[in-house]
Amino acid sequence: MPGLTICERRQRFLVRLSSMLLLLFLLAIPPTVYTQSNTSQSASIPSLELGKPIERDITGGEVHSYNLTLTVDQYVQFAVDQRGIDLAVWTFDPNGKRISEVDAFRVGEQEGVALLAEVSGAYRIELHTSFPKGPTGRYEIKLTELRPATERDKISYRAGVLIAHAFELERKQTKDDWQKAIQKYEEALPLWHSINDIDWEINTLYQIASAYISLADKQKAFDFANRAVALAESAVKDPNEEKRNSALKLQAWALDTLGRAHYEFDDRKKSVDLYNQSLLIRKQINDRAGTIITLNLLAISYQSMGDPRNALVCLTEIRELLKDTGDRAKESSFLNNICVVYENLAEYAKALEACNQSLSIRRALNDERGTAPVLNSMGNLYGNMSQYESALDSYTQSQAIYEKFGNENGQAIEFNNLGWLYAALGDYEKAIEFYKRSLELFRKLGNQFRQGGTLSNIAAGIMLLWLRPFRIGDYIAVNNMSGRVEETGLFACIIRTYDGARLFAPNSTLWNFALRNETSAPRRMVAVNVTIAGDGDEPARSALEAALGADPAILKQPAPEIFLDSTGAGNATLTCIFWTSSVRFGEAQRMVTTRIREGLKAGGIAPADIQGIVRITPAPADPTRLIDL
């Protein structure tokens, strides 16, 4: 299967998924979007009043409207508690002009909005379902503050406007927009500091770190992430319980961001350590939504480290946490990740079932943007199953959706995947064309890490063809896969596994991991421990010499060795070392136990006295086990 760097395709996809989740859960405290308006309007719709929350059911596609009458310089905050449905909050000025759209949090959490009125009038608030075909859910909307604006409110408002603009820029996911977003964040930082708003200062620091991760700027990503962690560690010492709990949640987010930096810049073990620290905090403060996010990040790291079993443990815990939340979008993301892990475990039927369920949910929600990463996973899965037409269709659909929504990073990844696919099919001209298109976009985005990944797909093939660490017919083992090489190419090799499956192995995987060639050397060594009852070893030694000497699979030179390895408890253990030709190595391993047992019996050793015959791997540092080939 392909991916950004072919050998990392699965984990790279999971990273894209986790990044999407991070956008949906962008802030560690309820986000406040600051807006203003300047004209007047009234409407025959319900009005919001302080101390009078409104609770209602809402179904996908519906819009609920509310009026809020404000005078000049009034400051108001209101919250929308999302129960079983994801909502977006739109606000309009008294003239009907839309002034904000907030959808930062998901099901089970609150959307928070603040308004600062510059003119008097009736402001309108609309609640839109985030997915037009979503199921029926429930919400509560209530005013939490309504008062004259203080100087602190006005400074907070200015900083909030900058943050809101930064969010809008980040959604475009281009290099220039990420850089512009960072400028907005950095303008907001001294404003938060001036009013001693530590929560938002921490939030802004790790948002900057996250943006630098997207820009592949390692030094600055670590700088801002570490600053966020340090400030959070100070904030959690606050004696006020409410402030302390808020700071703990922020600390978890900062640790997650630092973990993402270590993950992206190739220290996966450190990322696991940081995510586990975050997970302990989230569970301590009963942060269910945050726990899901951190578990997902852990699953991504375990997956990338070649540990799909632990990834599956994390995802299983997520499944339990998702029960009864009604968050269909998050359920789709979970199923997608399950698909990726099962694919890594070669349980393709389970993987395909999970991917199809994930895709069905996205389509039922009419969430076209959300189908792109799922189609990517399906393309990877079909590639591993050798269903190349289906893989091509999935990648092509995913690329078209990324293009439609202006996601150049997603497009670049799919071009890379299409390059891999055409290389696997032997169409190298098309493969080079798609790899070039991938490189062009990664260069435009300034992502040197992913440029290197795409280039490695090409360079690995060239190096393998030049150095030739294996040839057609060799039996090789690398990165948990093994088999006999049937075909070699510029981008991938075809390997026939021991159980007859046909495996397309990307050359970058073969190049980037230690490769063991089982058949390139003319001779192979086999070692066996034989345990015989009694203290005397001579009768057994003689019988073993006769048995090994008579075996046609065992070479006469170098001559077999037999020596006493240990004695004790009424037993003697003899070690036998012999050599066989590479072509008969498998036969020698399979038959050695039977032939030694028969030889011992023929030499007069009673079956009851044969305590054990076990193949062993001699210690590589023991020079008595080595021979000059």
- The answer to whether the CB of 533 falls within 8 A of the CB of 540 is no
**Total Cβ atoms within 10 A of residue 150:** 12
Bridge partners, residue 148, by sequence: 74
Amino acid 432: pLDDT? 78
CATH number of the structural domain 32-149: 2.60.120.380
Amino acid 152: pLDDT? 93
Between strands 121-129 and 63-70, the pairing is: antiparallel
CATH number of the structural domain 523-625: 3.30.70.100
pLDDT tops 50 at residue 11: no
Q: Which residues of 563-573 are buried (b: 16+ CB within 10 A; e: fewer)?
A: eeeeeeeeebb
Query: Which residues have CB under 8 Å from 228's CB, separation 6+?
Result: 202, 205, 206, 209, 250, 253, 254, 257, 258
Average pLDDT for residues 395-411, to the nearest whole number? 90
SS3 content of the chain, % helix, strand, coil (to 5): 55, 20, 25
- The answer to whether the CB of 365 falls within 8 A of the CB of 329 is yes
Structure tokens at 20: 């999407």
Q: How far is CA 533 from CA 94, 605, 611, in A?
A: 97, 10, 6
Amino acid 616: pLDDT? 79
* Nearest partner of 84 among 20, 23, 135, judged by Cα: 135
pLDDT tops 70 at residue 453: no
* Long-range pairs for 540-543: beta carbons < 8 A, 24 or more residues apart: 540/572, 540/574, 540/600, 540/603, 540/605, 541/574, 542/603, 543/599, 543/600, 543/602, 543/603, 543/604, 543/605
Which single residue is written with the structure tokens 């050695």? 592
The residue that leads in pLDDT, 75 or 512, is: 75
Q: How far apart are the first and last CA of the chain?
A: 38
pLDDT band at 184 (very low <50, low <70, confident <90, very high): very high
pLDDT band at 262 (very low <50, low <70, confident <90, very high): very high
The rounded distance, in Å, linking the Cα atoms of 214 and 221 is 9
The rounded distance, in Å, linking the Cα atoms of 334 and 322 is 9
Which single residue is written with the structure tokens 């086990």? 625
The residue that leads in pLDDT, 416 or 507, is: 416
The rounded distance, in Å, linking the Cα atoms of 423 and 432 is 8
Average pLDDT for residues 319-328, to the nearest whole number? 82
The rounded distance, in Å, linking the Cα atoms of 541 and 557 is 19
**Total Cβ atoms within 10 A of residue 608:** 7
Structure tokens at 131: 């997915």
The rounded distance, in Å, linking the Cα atoms of 373 and 142 is 36
pLDDT tops 60 at residue 2: no
- The answer to whether the CB of 173 falls within 8 A of the CB of 406 is yes
Amino acid 31: pLDDT? 35
The rounded distance, in Å, linking the Cα atoms of 80 and 82 is 6
Structure tokens at 518: 């089982």
* Nearest partner of 533 among 568, 562, 564, judged by Cα: 568
pLDDT tops 80 at residue 434: yes
pLDDT tops 80 at residue 191: yes
Amino acid 9: pLDDT? 25
To 10 degrees, the CA torsion angle through 274, 276, 277, 278? Answer: 90
Amino acid 417: pLDDT? 87
Q: How far is CA 205 from CA 174, 193, 224, 232, in A?
A: 20, 11, 6, 10
pLDDT band at 14 (very low <50, low <70, confident <90, very high): very low
Average pLDDT for residues 298-314, to the nearest whole number? 87
pLDDT tops 60 at residue 255: yes
The rounded distance, in Å, linking the Cα atoms of 383 and 492 is 12
Average pLDDT for residues 222-246, to the nearest whole number? 92
Amino acid 174: pLDDT? 76
Structure tokens at 337: 């990740």
The residue that leads in pLDDT, 572 or 424, is: 572
Structure tokens at 233: 């560690």
pLDDT tops 50 at residue 340: yes
pLDDT tops 50 at residue 386: yes
Instruction: Look over the chain and give the mean of its residue pLDDT values, rounded to a whole number.
Output: 81
Query: Sheet harboring 32-35: ordered strands across?
Result: 32-35, 110-116, 74-83, 137-148, 54-58
The residue that leads in pLDDT, 206 or 85, is: 206
pLDDT band at 450 (very low <50, low <70, confident <90, very high): low
Amino acid 624: pLDDT? 38
The radius of gyration of the chain's CA atoms, rounded to the nearest angstrom, is 32
Amino acid 449: pLDDT? 55
The rounded distance, in Å, linking the Cα atoms of 296 and 331 is 12
* Nearest partner of 31 among 188, 124, 164, 196, judged by Cα: 164
- The answer to whether the CB of 597 falls within 8 A of the CB of 532 is no
The residue that leads in pLDDT, 333 or 323, is: 333
Amino acid 30: pLDDT? 32
Amino acid 147: pLDDT? 94
Percent residues over pLDDT 90 in the chain: 33
Structure tokens at 558: 């170098």
Amino acid 7: pLDDT? 24
pLDDT tops 70 at residue 541: yes
pLDDT band at 233 (very low <50, low <70, confident <90, very high): very high
Average pLDDT for residues 102-114, to the nearest whole number? 82
pLDDT tops 70 at residue 5: no
Give kind and range of the element (H or E) at residue 503: strand 502-506
Amino acid 618: pLDDT? 55
| Longest alpha-carbon distance in the chain | 109
> Which pTM does this prediction carry?
0.63
Average pLDDT for residues 66-76, to the nearest whole number? 93
Hey, is 194 helix, strand or coil? Answer: helix
Query: Which residues have CB under 8 Å from 322's CB, separation 6+?
Result: 292, 330, 331, 334
Put residue 601 in one of left, alpha, beta given phi > 0 → left and psi -120 to 50 → alpha. alpha
Residue ranges per structural domain of the chain? 32-149, 523-625
13 HSE (CA, 13 A, CB side):
32
pLDDT band at 490 (very low <50, low <70, confident <90, very high): low
Cβ neighbourhood burial of 556 (10 Å; 0-12, 13-18, 19+):
exposed
pLDDT band at 383 (very low <50, low <70, confident <90, very high): confident
The rounded distance, in Å, linking the Cα atoms of 135 and 331 is 13
> SS3 string of 264-285?
HCCCHHHHHHHHHHHHHHHHHC
Q: DSSP H helical segments within 425-579, as ranges?
A: 428-445, 448-467, 507-512, 538-550
